[in-house]
Amino acid sequence: MFLLAFDAAMARYGDAMDEEQEIMGMISDMAIDIYAAESGLLRALKSIRNFGEQPSFAKICMVQLYMNAAVFLIADCAQQILAAAAGETLDTKMETLRELSRFKSVNSVRTSRSIAGHVIEAGRFIC
CB-based contact 70:36 (threshold 8 Å): yes
pTM of the prediction? 0.86
Of the candidates 84, 93, 90, the residue with the CA atom closest to the CA atom of residue 13: 84
Superfamily of domain 2-122: Butyryl-CoA Dehydrogenase, subunit A, domain 3 (1.20.140.10)
Contact 76, 113 (CB under 8 A): no
Domain ranges of the chain: 2-122
Is residue 31 within 8 Å of 77, Cβ to Cβ? Answer: no
Q: What is the pLDDT of residues 60-104, one digit of tens each?
A: 999 999 999 999 999 999 999 999 999 899 999 999 999 999 988
Q: pLDDT digits over 18-77, tens only?
A: 999 999 999 999 999 999 999 999 999 999 999 999 999 999 999 999 999 999 999 999
